[in-house]
Structure 1
Amino acid sequence: MDPNAHLNNLALESLHEDARAVLTRQAFPDTHDPAGRKQRLVTSQNVVHFLAEAYWPATIDTCVGVGRIGRTSFVVSSALFHAGNCISLCDAVMVAVGEDGPVSVPAVARRTLENLRLRVRGVGS
């Protein structure tokens, strides 16, 4: 926190990062295990918007889902809420990487990501 007891940008970003790790582990179960993984996930872009202040101590609710799925990458979108108000949004582009660079997202991971895709209520479902 800062001297005014605000949760600072690093504290909020760590909540986005934790949500991202939980989501990616569902689609790529061994991605965080260097010994057992066949490919890695790297972050190629991370955009965070800080929308409102929150003071420490605080209970923060986190929502996360998949915003877009490409051939070798996907976007993890997360939102942080305090007292029902959105205080921060984050979009992170994750790229599947093998020994020689970007690789296609495996079919099994793609299916899991599709199940985690964000949807607008009442549209397309």
Structure 2
Amino acid sequence: MPIPMTVARANRVALNRVMRRIAPHTPFLGLLTHRGRRSGREFTIPVNVFEFRGGIRLALTYGPGTDWVRNVRAAGGCTLRFRGRTLELTNPRLVRDPQRAGMPAFVRFVLARLHVEEFLDLDTAE
């Protein structure tokens, strides 16, 4: 797992509150809205976003076992606020990409240092 889950818990309490305000206006960040598998509650979280081959690629900085990834896969999609627009995303697929293809050099460098090789690819709904 690239980043320890203890960091994820701390981010949930503090950093995510700040990131929710700036993510929709920041390159490579967006706000993903998904519904809980068991609770049915709606959750909104900041994510690392990249436009990729006609769809969207999300960096899984905490790995593929996080609740939000499991929720998006179970639901078959989610909503993303990114670069001033709202996208409906479908067909979630886990992808392992050690080369971090299609990303700017700086992003590839940072993700490599964090050992992030797993991504969630989604299609934009027509």
Higher helix share: 2
- TM-score, normalised by the number of residues in structure 2: 0.28
- TM-score, normalised by the number of residues in structure 1: 0.28
